Copies of this chain bind each other. A is one copy, B any other.
Amino acid sequence: MKSDLARIVGDEHVLDPTAQYLDDASAASGVHGRADVVVRPGSADEVSAVVRWCYEHDVAIVPRGGGTGYAGGAVPLDGGVVLALERLRAIRSFDPLLWRMEVEAGVLTSTVARLARENGLLYPPDPGAAESSHIGGNAATNAGGPHAFKYGVTGAWITGLEAVVAPGELVQLGGPVRKDVAGYDLRSLLIGSEGTLGIITAVWLRLMPAPETALPVAAAFTDARAGAAAIEAVMASGVIPAAIEYLDAGSVDAAAATFPAPLDDERRFLLLVEADGTRAGAEHAVGELREALGDAVVHAPVTPADVRAFWEWRSAVSHAVTATRGGKLSEDVAVPVDRLAEAIEETVAIGERHGLEACSWGHAGDGNLHSTFLLSPGDEDERERADAAAHDLFAMAIRLGGTVSGEHGIGLLKNGQLRHQWAPAAVALHRSVKEALDPKGLLNPGKKLP
């Protein structure tokens, strides 16, 4: 195996597997991978040749981006080849005046965002680990983030994909053209498919002129019900907020110490709402939002430094929650926005039923909760109860008309959930599509589908 693969990518790019290539962010949940070899192709053609070799030799292929996923999607289960895309780092083209960019899969999300920003543009998707996640991984998982409320998830910004499909063909699905109904939307089919239908090697991105200003407002409420009522008031204000985020009481308790404004003990449910646009436009919109939020407003940063500090604090909420007990099990269910308060309350109730402290925060406008159970590292009994609690959480999301994953994906960890969320006929469709595109079942086996 090694010598064949070395002939394709060069000796120095065929490596023995190390944790760096076997684990992702799910390692915190005790998930560790096992592979035979790590291959680091240097071009899309080499990816194609590696896939072709694997497909001929019945060897499993686990594509790997930045390894920042929470669902174990990049973790090899049972040997095979880890196909690391980190050397595909070319910015193939960038036309700021035309609001578009073509980049290879291994380019960091933060690089895309920075290039756009330096040219007066915005690449809106802002998933949590942008400093280390790859744009290809973002595409493969259809990553979200706070600003997906106004701007949509990663897929909304991809006009075309280059990908390797079985048994090793390099194909182009879409391109720089912004509208195309000539074929089936295979681009969207691969986006979010977590490497189980093909290996994304490059993406064409569309961009937009950067808003001049973004002005967030934080408002504090007594509980989730009051917060949810405020969300409806915000949605009735006529403004389209750039983001509507929330933290419930448990999350606020974990993160309040570093919040840039005082928070009182009676109002521990936080809404973070942002308006963006021209300076005048954003200021006008923030006025409308303040009216909708009334006297609940507790903080409204204005200077760029304060706004940045505000969002850095928001990004650190997950770490602050972990720090409470040293460990956590966090899921990313989503529900219709009118069921959000129910889902937030029930997260805590599910925790109580399993003897676990629970909290949640997340993308309120999209009904997307990061429902979390606090854990002491190494406590196996607690871990098992958390797994059981997570199952109750998934059942709740489905009962409320939602999904077991709003943005992290199914990967390995939620693999059994698909058949609870989808009717048998819909699961059968998934199975048919998988068999059509990966007849040997070698593309990221054991992920996404049961």
Q: Indicate if A377 sits at the interface (CB-CB under 8 A).
A: no
A98 touches B235 (CB 8 A): yes
Copies in the complex: 2
A413 to B432, CA, bound (A): 29
Q: 1/0 per position for A219-260, CB-CB distance to B under 8 A?
A: 000000000000010011111100000000000000000000
Q: Mark A103-115, 1 if CB is under 8 A from B, else 0.
A: 0000000000000
User: For A412, what are the chain B residues with a Cβ–Cβ distance below 8 Å?
Assistant: none
Per-residue contact bits, chain A 303-343, to B (CB 8 Å; 1 contact, 0 not) = 00000000000000000000000000000001111100000
Whether, in the assembled complex, A386 has its beta carbon less than 8 Å from a beta carbon of chain B, the answer is no
Provide a sorted-by-A list of 16 A–B residue pairs whose CB atoms are within 8 angstroms. Answer: A144-B181, A149-B178, A171-B425, A171-B426, A172-B426, A177-B367, A177-B403, A178-B366, A179-B366, A179-B406, A182-B414, A183-B426, A184-B189, A278-B281, A433-B437, A436-B436
**Among A153, A171, A175, A232, residue most surrounded by chain B Cβ atoms (within 10 Å):** A171
Residues in B whose Cβ lies below 8 Å from that of A281: 277-278, 280-281, 284
Q: Which residue of B lies closest to A363 (CB)?
A: B179
A408 within 8 A of B: yes
Are A417 and B95 within 8 A (Cβ)?
Answer: no
Q: A residues 88-104 with Cβ under 8 Å of B?
A: 95, 97-99
Evaluate contact between A182 and B235: CB separation under 8 angstroms: no
A16 at the A/B interface (Cβ < 8 Å)? Answer: no
> Among B178, B189, B212, B418, which residue has its beta carbon within 8 angstroms of that of A189?
B189
For A294, the chain B residues whose CB sits under 8 A away are none
Residues of B within 8 A of A142 (CB): 181, 185
Contact residues, A174-226 vs B (CB, 8 A):
175-186, 188-189, 191-193, 197, 208-209, 212
| Interface assignment of A169: CB less than 8 Å from any CB of chain B | yes
Say yes or no: B177 contacts A401, CB within 8 Å.
yes
Q: How far is the CA of A435 from the CA of B439 in the complex (A)?
A: 13
Chain B residues whose C-beta falls within 8 Å of the C-beta of A433 in the assembled complex:
184, 186, 189, 433, 436-437
A351 within 8 A of B: no
- Residues 33-48 of A contacting B (Cβ, < 8 Å): none
Contact status A176-B401, CB under 8 Å: yes
Beta-carbon contact of B189 and A405 below 8 Å? no
A26 at the interface (CB under 8 A from B): no
Point out the residues of chain B lying under 8 angstroms from A421, CB to CB: 182-183
List which A402-450 residues lie within 8 A (CB) of chain B: 402-410, 414, 417-418, 421-423, 425-426, 428-430, 432-437, 448
A165 contacts chain B at the CB level, 8 A cutoff: yes
Assuming the A-B contacts A232-B97, A432-B437, are A185 and B191 also in contact, with contact meaning beta carbons closer than 8 angstroms in the complex?
yes
Q: Which of B98, B156, B181, B185 contacts A408 (CB 8 A)?
A: B181
Q: Is B120 in contact with A238, judged by CB distance below 8 angstroms?
A: yes
Contact between A155 and B185, CB atoms less than 8 A apart = yes
Q: How far is the CB of A126 from chain B (nearest CB, A)?
A: 14
Alpha-carbon distance A178/B149, docked complex (angstroms): 9
Question: Which residues of the other chain, B, contact A277 by a CB distance below 8 angstroms?
Answer: 277, 281
Complex interface: chain B residues within 8 A of A133 (CB): none
Report the bound CA distance from A410 to B181 in whole Å: 7
